[in-house]
Structure 1
Amino acid sequence: MYAEERQRAIADLITEHGRAAVNELAERFAVTGETVRRDLDVLERSGHLRRVHGGAVPMRAIRIAESGVDVRAETNPADKRAIGAAAARFAPHDGGTLLIDAGTTTIEAARSLPRDRTLSVFTNSVAVAGVLAMTMTAGRGGHTLDLHILGGRVRGLTQAAVGVSAVSALARLRVDVAFVGTNALSVGQGLATPDPDEAAVKAAMIAAANRVVVLCDSSKLERDDVVSFGSLDDIDVLVTDDGITTEFSHELTDKGVEVVIA
């Protein structure tokens, strides 16, 4: 295969799958890692992709436009339900405190919270609060769910409370566990999201928690976004699906992140 043919094939592969690692491409095309890196450099210069740590992603991986909750809910719904259920196992023990971020995957975690314990839950999500309000007493066997909604301006796009009020409230909190969503996660940038106000709230959530559990389907992995709100050092657990690459999983594990496949 000529270099130009291989490069076209690499570009098509990354466009189709959303990302590719250097070692996987080298094995697929029976070339060295150095050859793949040269191919990726050529493709990046021509505007076909963007290099990231260990591989490449499509140019569309970084974008300003955000999808609303209704659109996100229709994207990878089965994976999100599984991730939410797996994340719920990290809820604190009886009498513990839990902070839940806004997002379609965190909504699934809220639906899956165990009912065999008393919990105090704080959230900035209108949707999460709605889900939990419906289950505050139903089927809890005498256990209670103490629900607190953080104040602030509600972004219609994400149904999340943001702004000074939300950040100030979080600065006064200390919780056992935080379930945090993200629009992107990479080794180089860490956790990222398109909106600065959402980023400020997410960063405050991380600062308020003794343990941070990130919920993120694999379509958001090895991607960057506009505003970083946390590093890999801030993450205790990542709950994702089996679309995560072996290389990226190992990189996260080497950084001290526990990777859980839902």
Structure 2
Amino acid sequence: MHSLERRRDIVTRLRLDGRVEVTELVERFATSAETIRKDLIALERRGYLLRVHGGAIPVQAMTFEPAIAARTENAEAKMRIAVKALETLPADGAILLDGGSTTLMMAEHLPVDLHLKVFTNSLPVAQALLAKPLVECFTLGGRVRHNTSAEVGPAALRTLGEIHVDAAYVGTNAVSFSRGLCTPDPDEAAVKAAMIRCATTTVLLVDHSKFGLDALCAYAGLDEIDVLITDSDLAAGHREDLESQSFEVELA
């Protein structure tokens, strides 16, 4: 079977079954696992699917977000990203830490002898920073969202409009190569956009599973990122997509 026919068949099975397994596709098409992996990479790059361990699932627009406590997927990759991000911290000055599981890991692993002013809209991040005696922690204020424990709304936006920081460490729910950085909630999107505007340098912390996804609200273009830190499990197709971007890419 020609590769084009095989890939069409894979997409059809995805739509019918909601998931495909590499082992099943190898048997179905009487081909090698490496050939199937190349098919899945090609289809992922074109936005038809998202590769997961052992197979693939359909790409769907993200319309909800899990609570912080439930975000256990790719924990090892997120830890590597968080540790890598520590290497980019300024020696002193002020930074912003967005809400999210990766930025929380970063806060938990800040060196205890680090002198920094840290602004955050995340209550879990602020709680973690209380263990860092030389860090001055400031929360943005505003309404606290139940799902993410993040402050949003006019008060948070007002604070962001009054400050300037050396670096903003921002997470995202989705990286769309056509729309940019996306998140399901409009209020969080507004805060993330304001964080990027008030920072000299924007560092995006995002694991490989977020690439090729989309969500309701786009809040920043890829050209607004200065440094992107992701994990080494990033699909080859997405690595190629990143090569055409102007920002620095670091793999953890």
The two structures have a TM-score, normalised by structure 1, of: 0.78
In the TM superposition, residue 250 of structure 1 has moved relative to its aligned partner by 3.2
SS of the equivalent of 2:110 reads coil
Per-residue CA distance 1:47-98 (angstroms, 9 max, x = gap): xxxxx874433555312122111111x21111111111111211111x2111
SS of the equivalent of 2:188 reads helix
Match of 1:92 in 2: 90
Q: What is the rounded CA distance, in whole Å, between the counterparts of 1:236 and 1:112 in structure 2?
A: 23
Gaps of 5+ in 2: 22-33, 50-56
Paired residues, number: 228
- Is 1:96–1:119's contact at 8 Å kept on the other side of the alignment? yes
Match of 1:202 in 2: 192
SS of the equivalent of 1:156 reads coil
Per-residue CA distance 1:136-178 (angstroms, 9 max, x = gap): x2xxxxxx21111110000010000000110111011110000
Match of 2:48 in 1: 56
- The one-letter amino acid paired with 1:256 is S
Match of 1:44 in 2: none
Q: Map 1:138-153 onto structure 2 (within 5 A).
A: 144-153=134-143
Q: Alignment identity in percent?
A: 39
The answer to whether residue 126 in structure 2 is matched with residue 129 in structure 1 is yes
Q: Relative to 1, partners in 2 of residues 1:165 and 1:239: Cα closer, same or farther, differing over 3 Å? A: same
Per-residue CA distance 1:102-160 (angstroms, 9 max, x = gap): 0011101111223343101000000000000122x2xxxxxx21111110000010000
In the TM superposition, residue 242 of structure 1 has moved relative to its aligned partner by 1.5
- Indicate the RMSD between aligned Cα atoms, in angstroms: 2.7
- The one-letter amino acid paired with 2:35 is R
- The one-letter amino acid paired with 2:87 is R
In the TM superposition, residue 28 of structure 1 has moved relative to its aligned partner by 3.4
SS of the equivalent of 1:67 reads coil
Match of 2:76 among 59, 75, 78: 78
Match of 2:166 among 171, 176, 201: 176
Gaps of 5+ in 1: 18-26, 41-51, 138-143
SS of the equivalent of 1:130 reads helix
The answer to whether residue 100 in structure 2 is matched with residue 103 in structure 1 is yes
Q: What is the rounded CA distance, in whole Å, between the counterparts of 1:248 and 1:203 in structure 2?
A: 24
